[in-house]
Amino acid sequence: MAAHMEYDVLVVGTGASGMATAVTAASQGLKVLVVEKAPVYGGTTARSGGWLWVPGTHLAIEQGLHEPAGAARAYLQDQAGSHFDPARVDAFIENGPKAINFFASNTCVQFDMPPVFPDYHAEAPGGLQGGRSMVTRPFDARELGTHVKKLAPPVPELTVFGMMLGSGKELWHFLRAFKSMESFLFVARRFGLHFLDVLRHGRGMTLTNGNALAGRLAKAGMDLDIPVWLSSPVKRLLVEGGSVVGAVIEHEGKRIEVRTRRGVVLACGGFPHDIERRKSLFPHAPTGHEHYTPSPALNTGDGLRLAEAIGGWVDPSIPNAAAWCPTSLVPRKDGTQGVMPHFIDRAKPGVIAVTADGRRFANEALSYHDFVQHLVRVCKERSQADFSAWLICDHKHLREYGLGAVAPFPLPFGRHLRSGYLRRASTLAELALAIGVPAETLARQVETFNLDAASGTDSQFGKGSTAYNRYQGDSKVQPNPCMAPIAQGPFYSIKIVIGEIGTFAGLATDASCRVITRDRNLVPGLYAVGNDAASVMGGNYPGAGITLGPAVTFGYVAGMALAQASVIQPGQQYESLRMAA
């Protein structure tokens, strides 16, 4: 006989969406329990960049960045295309600023907004040059006390000596450490504090990016005395009278029936490691295995299956089932393999990408999501056996900017050569032989690129032609911050394959995050947020933070909706709500 417990709300998952829901609901006086399948908390959020895309926030207004009326809606309608959901988009636009203000005013969850960070498609209708993307403020992990030991770590390949680097101004200083005294002093101080923390605490205590967001949300939950059960998977949902009234949790070696008075919220992180669903929805993964993700290994689609078992529905027609990202596979010292996301290195001057036939195929400075879509299409057109490409650069570029997991000067890179992660050759012809592409074709591509770099116009693919391209390039390089000759040997290459930073194909929900069936009826008592809910962006990726922005926003929406929901009575039959077509 399972033990019984009762709460107002059960939240399944400790990423940004789950914890935002829990904190919001608890702040409204509800009794909340959070359960987590993994032995650590933070989910995919802890591994992320920590950026949020939310239009019209007080952070933008304080900087004099005012949203033109209707611009955000027009932009999302353009980006989402046939999967534009007016009700959910309007809920996001209306509640996003409220959510950011709520957390900033009532909790330790704080954000900073750079004055300029363009939307990825800033030239599209409603796109802006800045004012929508914000980053989580660094956080002192000492505020978590002993709970810091259970915080999920960042992706190792995105750290330096275990130190997390902020993806905004901090990263800029690290790239300029030997070009500017100000940056050198900044980096020296940062390293000094990090190594002092390691001596004192066994780890760095300055959390940045997604680790900072996971830590801040955890502290907000602690301040509200929200219990979090780790290593506690949900085995099934409890349904009575057509309503979800709780779940069976496996906790500390026994099964516990957790009954809920208001609802169960699924925030399990989507399905990045669900092989069967990948096989079904990822065009580059016909067996489900041709895909590489830095997402947590336990994100196996539990939330989707739990909901589908009682009528929930995942729309398979979404144009992109995940937030695609080019990645490279990094051999680690312990024999395991790391997955390195390539976010911005492709945009730097002096690097191109070629497929197995030695030809370029896209503007390398495109967003990671757009870049992979081009790679998939071209590999199909060129009948390439696998969906992969090679990044090519010269020695000057490698030492100045780094590439993938290879850090710039003065950090050594010999281990990457020895492991085969980084390929090197004295000439382009030798490099072509090393990576198995036609030497003459590669030489022609580099020659054309170098000629274009001199004029500042990429005649093939327009690298450096958009605001986002130029933002990710190097402003010191002119006339095009994304282009410089590939001329100074030796030459280097890294193989890139397809991964993602979160899945988009999720459960259909209404504007209040309530799960709905294929026939657009409610599943009473069941909510979904984060990557367990279908992307409000319609499977597109229009700006930095379009996963975490909606995650925090709809977590807030769900928390408020739960506070206003009627108490579920055991055995009560709820009237299904027919949703508008």
Q: pLDDT digits over 552-566, tens only?
A: 999 999 999 999 988
Q: pLDDT digits over 271-330, tens only?
A: 999 999 999 999 999 999 999 999 999 999 999 999 999 999 999 999 999 999 999 999
Q: pLDDT digits over 195-206, tens only?
A: 777 777 777 788
pLDDT of residue 167: 62
Count of other CB atoms within 10 angstroms of residue 310: 18
d(CA 368, CA 498): 10
pLDDT greater than 70 at residue 334 = yes
**Structure-token pair, residue 577:** 């709500």
* Residue bearing the bigger pLDDT, 496 or 409: 496
pLDDT greater than 60 at residue 387 = yes
Cis geometry, peptide bond prior to residue 326 (ω within 30 degrees of 0) = no
Cis geometry, peptide bond prior to residue 410 (ω within 30 degrees of 0) = yes
Q: Are 32 and 219 in contact (CB under 8 A)?
A: no
Q: Are 271 and 533 in contact (CB under 8 A)?
A: no
* Residue bearing the bigger pLDDT, 289 or 410: 289
d(CA 51, CA 154): 14
Pairing of strands 254-266, 514-516: unpaired
- Band of the pLDDT at 174, cuts 50, 70, 90? low
Spell out the domain ranges in the chain: 1-167+208-321+504-570, 323-500
- Band of the pLDDT at 23, cuts 50, 70, 90? very high
Pairing of strands 254-266, 3-12: parallel
d(CA 527, CA 525): 7
CATH code: domain 323-500 is 3.90.700.10
- Please report, rounded to a whole number, the percentage of residues in the chain having pLDDT higher than 90: 85
pLDDT greater than 60 at residue 125 = yes
pLDDT of residue 4: 85
Tell which phi-psi region holds residue 335, choosing left (phi > 0), alpha (psi between -120 and 50) or beta: left
In DSSP terms, 371 is beta-bridged to none
CATH code: domain 1-167+208-321+504-570 is 3.50.50.60
Q: Are 482 and 463 in contact (CB under 8 A)?
A: yes
25-33 mean pLDDT: 98
Q: Do domains 1-167+208-321+504-570 and 323-500 have the same CATH topology?
A: no
- Please report, rounded to a whole number, the percentage of residues in the chain having pLDDT higher than 70: 94
- Band of the pLDDT at 104, cuts 50, 70, 90? very high
List alpha helices for 323-466, DSSP H: 368-381, 395-401, 414-419, 428-435, 439-455
Pairing of strands 163-164, 254-266: unpaired
Q: Are 45 and 538 in contact (CB under 8 A)?
A: no
166-180 mean pLDDT: 67
- Band of the pLDDT at 524, cuts 50, 70, 90? very high
- Band of the pLDDT at 170, cuts 50, 70, 90? low
Q: Are 337 and 405 in contact (CB under 8 A)?
A: no
> Residues 427, 433, 436, 437: is their CA dihedral positive or negative?
positive
- Band of the pLDDT at 573, cuts 50, 70, 90? very low
Cis geometry, peptide bond prior to residue 438 (ω within 30 degrees of 0) = no
